[in-house]
Amino acid sequence: MSQTDTHTGAHPDLAQVEVDGLTRSSFLLKGALAAGAVYGLGAVTPFVSGAFAAEGEMGDVEILNFALTLEYLEADFYNVKGKTVGLKGQARSYAKLFGEEEADHVGALATTIKQLGSTPVAKPSFSFPATDEKSFLALASVLENTGVGAYNGAAPALKSKEVLAAAGSIVQVEARHAAAINLLIGQSPTPDQGFDRPLTKTQVLAKAGPLIKK
């Protein structure tokens, strides 16, 4: 398994954004689509192309490090930023609980990457454009919902089924966070209705990238 390079100046995940190529799963999918094996339902088909957008040859470790970066971001958001914007009541309890859970995600992902014989990506510095409870919660909604899309988008490309199951275990929790935050700010807990849309890495970085300083 290739080592993730954590010593370059550029953020390692950003370096992957422009690379074309297909993962093995994408190749199989394209074969299936060519054979006409496309579900007759419009509800399912869109995700398929979303989940397999060409993102470059991301191995399991790269995917996990991408997830780790997002978890570092969410943990810092709740645990550090969350203490500076005057959260009260339910917002404050959510920030505390979700921050603990994101921190657990960080620890587990880092451990898993090491168990796979690779180096976890270093924690970046972040900058969150939130000044009060309202803007904090609005950003929380964006981050959690983006997190769901990120995991659902990347998971089918995972080669290891154990890692896939683990990613599923985490994304479920992100979805729970997302629903709770959305409800708190008067938004639908199911913004994508019956099917949570998978996001490409590019789409994820469009939301999360600007918050990453290093």
Partner 1 sequence: MSSDSTGGREPAQSGLVERLVRDDVDRKRFLKMAGSGAAASFGAFVLAACGGSSKATSTTAAVTTASASAGGGDVAIANYALTLEYLETEFYEKVAASGLFSGKSAALIKQFGAQEKTHVEALKGAVTKLGGTPAAKPAGKFPIESAKKVTELAYTVENLGAAAYLGQAAKIQNAELLAAALAIHTVEARHAATLGTVLGRPITPDGAFAKPADMSTVLAAVKPFLA
- Name the residues that contact partner 1, by CB under 8 A: 25, 28-29, 32, 37-41, 43-44, 47-48, 51-52, 93, 97, 100-109, 111-112, 115, 148, 151-152, 155-156, 161-180, 183, 188-190, 192-198
CB atoms within 10 A of CB 9: 5
| Count of beta carbons in the 10 Å neighbourhood of residue 200 | 20
Nearer to partner 1, 150 or 205 (CB): 150
Q: Which of 162, 135, 129, 149 is nearest to 199 (CA)?
A: 149
Closest distance to partner 1 from the beta carbon of 198 (Å): 6
Which residues are within 8 A (CB) of 25 and not within 5 positions of it... i.e. 6 or more apart? 52, 156, 157
Nearer to partner 1, 14 or 165 (CB): 165
Query: Closest separation between CB of residue 125 and partner 1, Å?
Result: 21
The residue count for the chain = 214
Q: Which is nearer to partner 1, 10 or 34 (CB)?
A: 34
- Smallest distance from the beta carbon of 181 to partner 1, in angstroms? 10
Element (H, E) at 174: helix 161-184
From the CB of 55, what's the least distance to partner 1, in Å? 14
DSSP 125: P
For partner 1, the closer of residues 70 and 106 by Cβ is 106
